[in-house]
Chains A and B, each alone.
Chain A
Amino acid sequence: MSSVAFGSLTGRLRRTPLRRNLIGGLIGLVIVILVLESVSPFRQGQFATMAYLGIAVGGLTVLTGLNGQLSLGHGALMAVGAYTAALMLHNVEKPLPLPVIMLLSVLVTVVVGAVVGVAAARLHGPYIAGATLAMAVAVPGIASFFGDTLGGEQGLSVSTPEAPGWFADAVYFLTAHDITGTKYLAYIGWIGLIISFVLLANLSASRVGRTWRAVRDDEVAAELAGINVGRARVKAFVVSAACAGLAGSVMAMVVRIAAPSGFTLTLSLSLLTAVVLGGLGSLVGALIGAGLLTFLPQTVTGLGQSLGLTDLQSAQLAPLVYGLTLVLVILLAPAGLVGTIRNAWRRRQSPDTGSIHPQQEATP
């Protein structure tokens, strides 16, 4: 009797992804509050970093995994979001409320993303990779050229915004701890992440998501089925750009600066590593990837130092691990961490062709 009831409950949950995602989001929020309250300020800062990386990686994994467009330029889109936020927070006495700033960053990045997306929609494979690579290299130069408004190499400094009274009171009510600047940013980042992941998950499970997958798997068939391939591609690009813009605005506040040097090719490649490691299309994978990006470097650097390498050499171990990850994952486990585990569960159903794309619908 109870197993039937349980079956009907989970059945009901599975049939309404919105409800499931919302509940998932709420549970996530509770976990976030519990974790953030119990760690040191340094770790809170690290979690804030993980949050904005997670948002960016989430958007990218949807674009690359669900829609098949490989973008190496999302670091540049994050730069757009970061500079927008920085312009509104640099040397400003009374900044606008934070949600407004973040929304504006998202909007500006969406506009840029739409332009880039339209250009990219007609490209495939190495062409889009090369074009977005060029974008990643080119965009920081713009900030240097317009040095007067955009701060040049020195960048725009961003002062940490203060938590508004009601927020601080709410946090105190729930947790008996005061709110510091770092913790506030961590909350902002994670709330942003939860909201965007819930939205991405819903999109992914909806008709839009199915359209994207259709375009990824076989363009000609999709076109024949009446899907406007170009429009679907641009839509996907714009959604991922919105995520990148949001991530950029949080990054500007966490790092306290928006400077060209923060948005190098390395950033875009790191985002890609996180996507590949977690598995294309998987939001859980995106979170795992972002976590590794945040916490792995220190562990690896410490390991290098204990192995006798100099400080500078140890600092290079993290990129080495990223690169090796990309290479090994492609060669050995193209479906990424999450995908491989999932495929192992479903091995009896169909053989793995070894494609980097997941076999079935990517679910978060």
Chain B
Amino acid sequence: MKRWTKQMTRIAGLITAGALVAACGAGGRPSSGSNSSGGGAAQVGITKDTVTVGATFPLTGVAAPGYSEIPTGAQAYFDYVNANGGVNGRKIKYIVRDDGYDPTTTSEVTNELVLKDQVFAMLGALGTPTHTAVVDFLNSEKVPDLFVSSGSIQWGDDPKAKHYTFGWQPDYEIEGKIIGQWVAKNMPDAKVGLFLQDDDLGRDSEKGVRQYLDKKIVKVQRYTAGNTDVAPQIAALKASGADLVLGFNVPSYTALSQLVALKLNYKPKWFYSNIGSDAELVGNLLSKFSEGAVHGTDPLDGVLTTAYIPGVDATDNAWAKLWQKVWDKHGKDGHLTNYRIYGMSEAYAFVQALQAAGKNPTREGIVNAVEKMGNAAGPPLAPFRYSADSHLGISGMRVVQLKGGKSNPLTPVLVTDIGAAPIKEDDSAAKDSPPASGIPEVKPAG
């Protein structure tokens, strides 16, 4: 008993000693608390010759068709800029991580990007449900979250709460409004059905559409991304008698909805929002089904959609020519597609922001720079809405009709804003051309 007590006392003594030794490093907590952030010291993600940006994209999974090509376009444009000296002597390092369109994975890989890869900023992270999972984290860690590849309005409608986050593409609400107004004007007798993704993508779009078409909507159907059985939804749309279906969905679901409609012998007019309407992609997805009876881009012939940047089919547009040149020089496998152009256009905006942030960019600095970028000349057909009160991106688009893989514009560029703002025509930004070098020449913001 005595021996055992001795042993236990020895062990207890060791542990206490160890704790004391550790505590030797402590002491009273300084009243003001040490502050290691801020200050002009080394910025995370920026060195003398590199700037590191990160992004999360669905490289696998149900949203991968199409969207997985976006980062390849951005990478090609960054390679082009780096080959020409980079920005203020710094090369852009672009780290892309796959999240499979799965918000849980997005959270994990964004953690990696911010804490392990130590990126300076996030650029173009894709997806509404996915980015929702990380937007609060990024803002609390004060990481600039630029040009989210999604049209949810939450990236820009509350700059006070989400100071570091910016949208880029037109948000779903204004797209819904523009589509709604066009339908109300040009198809006044239509019975409208809605085919929506069951998250903010669908919700914001529906809000915009209802501003103009509230009485004409006969049925709303939602699908869950990941569940590829959409037969019940399409059957319900058919049963309701809808002869015009507005689809706000990712490209796989454009293909699926077309397939099911075929099976059910349902032939409404289709109007897909921009994110789901790439003719070539959908054609590829559907290519094998009819064993050759359906060719290439045919499945979407006659389908209506919208466009806000010049696409692959605008062969005499200066921007399209620039993108083709960049892709020919720096693109990896495959040919130029609209998704790659999307990536390049976002990358172009980033370079503009980085230049505006000056010779020694800081995270705060680049955020301020983007807020002043409202009138920057770039590929988008309509101006940005960036300001201290709004971090929403491109303000408008055209309505187009697809035929043979080409999009024929049916309207001029229509611009508006979220809420009750009216829709106006504004072609001014559509006339911008790229600088001769293909690289922006933005002066540092004041």
Answer whether A and B are interacting partners.
yes
* Chain A interfacial positions (CB closer than 8 Å to B): 5, 8-9, 12, 23, 26, 30, 33-34, 40-42, 45, 144, 147, 152-155, 157, 159-160, 169, 172-176, 178, 182, 255-257, 259-262, 311-312, 315
The 30 listed contacts between A and B (C-beta, < 8 Å) are A5-B3, A8-B4, A9-B3, A9-B7, A33-B22, A42-B111, A42-B116, A45-B115, A144-B227, A153-B226, A154-B128, A154-B133, A154-B200, A155-B133, A160-B140, A173-B23, A174-B23, A175-B22, A175-B25, A175-B26, A178-B33, A256-B107, A256-B136, A259-B103, A259-B104, A260-B226, A261-B103, A261-B105, A262-B103, A312-B60
With A and B bound together, what is the CA distance between A160 and B134 in angstroms?
12
Q: Which of A45, A153, A157, A176 contacts B136 (CB 8 A)?
A: A157
- Verify B104–A172 contact, CB threshold 8 A: no
The interface residues of chain B lying within 8 Å CB-to-CB of A173 are: 23, 26
- Verify A315–B133 contact, CB threshold 8 A: no
- Verify A256–B116 contact, CB threshold 8 A: no
- Verify A257–B7 contact, CB threshold 8 A: no
The interface residues of chain B lying within 8 Å CB-to-CB of A160 are: 137, 140
The interface residues of chain A lying within 8 Å CB-to-CB of B26 are: 172-176
- Verify A174–B22 contact, CB threshold 8 A: yes
* Chain B interfacial positions (CB closer than 8 Å to A): 3-4, 7, 11, 15, 18-19, 22-23, 25-27, 29, 33-34, 59-60, 98, 100, 102-105, 107-108, 111-112, 115-116, 128-129, 132-134, 136-137, 140, 198-200, 224-227
Task: Count chain B CB atoms within 10 A of each CB in A12, A147, A153 and give the residue with the most.
Answer: A153
- Verify B34–A152 contact, CB threshold 8 A: no
Give B222 Cβ to nearest chain A Cβ, in Å: 9
- Verify A312–B98 contact, CB threshold 8 A: yes
- Verify B15–A155 contact, CB threshold 8 A: no
The interface residues of chain B lying within 8 Å CB-to-CB of A147 are: 198
- Verify B198–A152 contact, CB threshold 8 A: yes
Query: Who on chain B is nearest to A11 by CB?
Result: B4
The interface residues of chain A lying within 8 Å CB-to-CB of B27 are: 176
With A and B bound together, what is the CA distance between A315 and B111 in angstroms?
17
Query: Who on chain A is nearest to B105 by CB?
Result: A261
- Verify B103–A257 contact, CB threshold 8 A: yes
The interface residues of chain B lying within 8 Å CB-to-CB of A144 are: 198, 224, 227
Query: Who on chain A is nearest to B108 by CB?
Result: A255
- Verify B111–A159 contact, CB threshold 8 A: no
Q: Knowing A9-B7, A45-B111, A315-B98 touch, does A261 contact B22 (C-beta < 8 A)?
A: no
The interface residues of chain A lying within 8 Å CB-to-CB of B198 are: 144, 147, 152-153
Closest CB pairs A-B (n = 6): A262-B104, A42-B115, A176-B25, A261-B102, A154-B129, A176-B26
With A and B bound together, what is the CA distance between A8 and B2 in angstroms?
11
With A and B bound together, what is the CA distance between A176 and B137 in angstroms?
26
The interface residues of chain A lying within 8 Å CB-to-CB of B3 are: 5, 8-9
With A and B bound together, what is the CA distance between A261 and B224 in angstroms?
11
Q: Knowing A9-B7, A152-B198, A152-B199 touch, does A42 contact B103 (C-beta < 8 A)?
A: no
- Verify B134–A256 contact, CB threshold 8 A: yes
The interface residues of chain B lying within 8 Å CB-to-CB of A176 are: 23, 25-27
Query: Who on chain A is nearest to B64 by CB?
Result: A312
Give B381 Cβ to nearest chain A Cβ, in Å: 30
- Verify A12–B4 contact, CB threshold 8 A: yes
Q: Beyond the given A42-B111, A178-B33, A312-B60, could you list 9 further A-B residue pairs with CB under 8 A, ordered by the A residue number?
A: A5-B3, A33-B22, A144-B227, A154-B129, A155-B104, A157-B133, A172-B29, A174-B23, A259-B104
The interface residues of chain A lying within 8 Å CB-to-CB of B227 are: 144
Query: Who on chain A is nearest to B222 by CB?
Result: A147
Query: Who on chain A is nearest to B102 by CB?
Result: A261
With A and B bound together, what is the CA distance between A9 and B98 in angstroms?
54
Query: Who on chain A is nearest to B8 by CB?
Result: A9
Give B221 Cβ to nearest chain A Cβ, in Å: 14
With A and B bound together, what is the CA distance between A12 and B11 in angstroms?
15
The interface residues of chain B lying within 8 Å CB-to-CB of A34 are: 22
With A and B bound together, what is the CA distance between A155 and B4 in angstroms?
55
With A and B bound together, what is the CA distance between A34 and B22 in angstroms?
9
Q: Which of B29, B112, B140 contacts A42 (CB 8 A)?
A: B112
Q: Knowing A5-B3, A256-B107 touch, does A30 contact B98 (C-beta < 8 A)?
A: no
Give A159 Cβ to nearest chain B Cβ, in Å: 6
Task: Count chain B CB atoms within 10 A of each CB in A9, A34, A41, A155 and give the residue with the most.
Answer: A155
Query: Who on chain B is nearest to A41 by CB?
Result: B115
The interface residues of chain B lying within 8 Å CB-to-CB of A259 are: 102-104, 129, 133
The interface residues of chain B lying within 8 Å CB-to-CB of A172 are: 26, 29
Give A319 Cβ to nearest chain B Cβ, in Å: 12
- Verify B224–A155 contact, CB threshold 8 A: no
Give B125 Cβ to nearest chain A Cβ, in Å: 15
The interface residues of chain B lying within 8 Å CB-to-CB of A256 are: 107, 133-134, 136-137
Give A305 Cβ to nearest chain B Cβ, in Å: 13
Task: Count chain A CB atoms within 10 A of each CB in B18, B59, B104, B226 and give the residue with the most.
Answer: B104
